[in-house]
Chains A and B, each alone.
Chain A
Amino acid sequence: MNKKAYIESKPKFSVIWIVPVIAIIITGWMLYQHQANKGHTIFLKMENADGLIAGKTEIKVRSVQVGLVESLKLQIDQNAVIATVRIFKDYDTLLTEDTKFWTVKPRVDESGISGLNTLLSGAYIELLPGESQNTATLFTMQNQPALIAPDIEGVRYKLKAANAEVLDVGTGIFFRNYKIGQVETASFNEKTLEMDYGIFINSPYNELISKNAIFWVNSGVEVDLSTEGIKVSTGSLSKLIKGGISVDYPPNTEADTIAEQSTQYKLHKNFAVALERRFDLFDLYLVEFEQSIKGLKPGAPVEYRGMRIGTVEQVPAQLVRNGQPLYFQQDNTSIPVLIKVEYGRIYEVDEQAKKYWQSNIEKWIKNGLRASLKSGNLLTGAVYIELDFYNAAKPEAIAKHLVYPVLPSVPSGFTALSEQVMALLNKLNNLPIDDTLNEAHETLTAYKQLGNETERLIKNLNNKKVSEKVDKNLTQLQGTLTQLTSSLKQFEKTLSTYQQGSSVMDQLTDTLSELESLSNTLKPVTKGLNEQPNMLIFDKSTTEDPVPRKR
């Protein structure tokens, strides 16, 4: 009985190891799925995390959640906050380098009121996808919402403003009070000392921006105090609140060819200034006034019988003769004023107007064309220069002894008025005053007779029908009073039924007495009930009353 034992070698790989291997594979697969489904992590750099809550604040695109703020970390060295944001798996294509982020929260600014829906839901971060193909993971949060999304079509132009007020980004561009775009960028050029604006005109309104378009600042309310009076003009309510930039074509002109992108325009202070650029063909003239020029200011109009033909340039004209100002010379007491005759105002084709003017001016002056000061606005005291023909004017010719030709003038205003007053006084001296006084006396006599007749007429009226009517009315009034007295007596009678001693009061007193008597009668019963509540069922078990005793 000899048996041989078999020794089997131990297998190198036990089957039992399959279980942990499978577990590792499953774990790895789960980790991969978790990471894959987790989406992409990006970082947002911002000045402060106002309104943002880690784990709660959502990232939205067009109100659809595409991510979540996972954490907020303060970066002290950069004075910034870094938000770790997880963008969901399917939206990683949104994360291009020109993607914009900003916080949506309640805002009240010049563009209006926005974000009110976040009052209850809390702030969220809006994501505006970019157009770039390059992806990024670090973004800088904007303080303000993006004005113009990349998918909005339109054309960008440039504006330069030297004297206009500074406008903010977001200011509207209006074409005949309709908003067609807005200011996209605003910066001050320290070299040219001008404001550079980048504007965006929405499509298809960019077709309105022609080469001859003019831009001017249109404040909400425009008050123009000029020789033409006070002019107050307002735009729409939003423009009234926010102001804006207006764009239009010059009056009586049509749109030129459409301007190309990035065309630069000048932004004028107002509409009037915007128009003046057209009158660049002009001649300067000197007008010497032998009177006060108070109220005349540069920019005041020069008119011919109400039609504007030019503008006052300098008041007084800064001209020097022999090293002295022209208006401070003893042999010359007049005040020189420099004016521009703008031919574009005379006729649309300014060259033609210039020829016409220059060929006829000497003849006109010979025939009596003179300049004079006229009061344009009594309220502001502004004056302007008017050219007109004066037949009684002394003959003069256009003087050319100075730098500029001199137009002759005639006195006006108080000077002219004093001359007219003198003329009037002379006429008064020649008036037949005695005859006038006699006529006045006769007129007064006639008025006196009329008064007497009127008095007699009134007396007649008093004695006749009027007194009868008054008597009739008095009779009616007496009847009414009698009726009123009767009503009052009836009312008094009614009241007397409620007075003391009346039957009603007696009945009431009797009733109260009976009530009092009943109350007195019930007092022993209530006393008994207090002492013995079951008194009504069983007999009184109260003790006998104490018997009064003789002492």
Chain B
Amino acid sequence: MRLAIHACLLSLFLVGCSNNSTSHQYYKFSEQHQNAASNHEFNNQVVYLEDVTILGVANQQAIVQYTQPNVVNIASFHFWAEHPEIMLTQLTQNYLSKQGFTVVPRSLAGDIDTKQYSVKLVINDFAGHYEKGAVLNGSWYLYQLKRGASHLVHSKRFAIDNALKADGFNALITAHQTNWEVLLQDIEAVLALRLNQNNE
């Protein structure tokens, strides 16, 4: 009888300390979409890139979803592998560099008293959506630097969404990446136009 009680307690202890099947998942944009060829030659003209800024609830590593109107879910088991601001900044720098721009992070620019452009991205929404799939809202700004002062020469509001092609978090991450690349293509076009005008 005594042995049975001890066995029962031990089993309860083991059950209490046992792990469930749920595990944490970390995500990052894949590089397969970033291998676009260089389209421009800008004679090593420098473009400064400021760190991407995310405003609001998406400014965290947990993946954020709008599950129904006025309800936001912050994932407990699904995270970005690094903070999305860092990830998006690096993604932008890589993309523009591959497009032929000489991209320098603004924080590492040092003396910026030259006639160059500086890009700033501000994200308001970067989340999954119960109807739209993946949503990306915000603004981006293009500054021209003259004698140490920034002059706003272009700004644009963007609201991009992309429906998921399948169920699951992987499909959401893919949709986010597609949204981001659409945005980068727009920025690339405007930036290329500006730099070409300068070259002419």
* A residues lining the B interface (CB < 8 Å): 501, 509, 516-517, 520-521, 523-524, 527-528, 531, 538-542, 544-551
Among B144-198, those with CB < 8 Å from A are: 163-169, 171-172
- The residues of B that contact A548 with a CB separation of less than 8 Å are 65, 128, 133, 164, 167-169, 171-172
Q: Is the CB of A550 within 8 A of B171?
A: yes
Closest 6 interchain pairs by CB? A548-B172, A545-B75, A550-B164, A520-B83, A542-B76, A548-B128
Q: Is the CB of A547 within 8 A of B167?
A: yes
Q: Is the CB of A538 within 8 A of B16?
A: yes
A470 to chain B, nearest CB (A): 45
What is the CA–CA distance of A509 and B107 in the complex, to the nearest angstrom?
10
Which listed residue (B63, B73, B83, B164) contacts A517, Cβ 8 A? B83
Q: Is the CB of B73 within 8 A of A545?
A: yes
- Say whether chain A's binding surface is mostly helix, strand, loop, or mixed: loop
Q: Give the bracket for the number of chain B residues in contact with chain A.
A: 35 or more
What is the CA–CA distance of A539 and B23 in the complex, to the nearest angstrom?
11
- The residues of A that contact B131 with a CB separation of less than 8 Å are 551
- The residues of B that contact A531 with a CB separation of less than 8 Å are 76
Which listed residue (A517, A528, A547, A551) contacts B168, Cβ 8 A? A547
A519 to chain B, nearest CB (A): 10
What is the CA–CA distance of A542 and B166 in the complex, to the nearest angstrom?
25
- The residues of B that contact A509 with a CB separation of less than 8 Å are 107
Some 25 contacts from A to B, beta carbons below 8 A apart, are A516-B83, A517-B83, A523-B60, A524-B76, A528-B76, A538-B16, A538-B17, A539-B17, A539-B18, A539-B20, A540-B22, A540-B76, A542-B76, A544-B77, A545-B75, A545-B78, A545-B169, A546-B73, A547-B168, A548-B65, A548-B128, A548-B169, A548-B171, A548-B172, A550-B166
B92 to chain A, nearest CB (A): 18
Q: Is the CB of B163 within 8 A of A523?
A: no
Q: Is the CB of B164 within 8 A of A523?
A: no
Known: A524-B79, A544-B22. A501 touches B171 (CB 8 A): no
- B69 at interface, CB cutoff 8 A: no
Which listed residue (B20, B61, B133) contacts A523, Cβ 8 A? B61
Q: Is the CB of B61 within 8 A of A551?
A: no
- B56 at interface, CB cutoff 8 A: no
Q: Is the CB of A523 within 8 A of B62?
A: yes
What is the CA–CA distance of A542 and B65 in the complex, to the nearest angstrom?
17
- B74 at interface, CB cutoff 8 A: yes
Which listed residue (B17, B74, B167) contacts A527, Cβ 8 A? B74
What is the CA–CA distance of A546 and B63 in the complex, to the nearest angstrom?
11
What is the CA–CA distance of A49 and B74 in the complex, to the nearest angstrom?
87
Which listed residue (A524, A538, A540, A541) contacts B62, Cβ 8 A? A524
Nearest chain-B residue to A522 (Cβ)?
A: B61
What is the CA–CA distance of A547 and B60 in the complex, to the nearest angstrom?
19
- The residues of A that contact B167 with a CB separation of less than 8 Å are 547-550
What is the CA–CA distance of A542 and B75 in the complex, to the nearest angstrom?
10
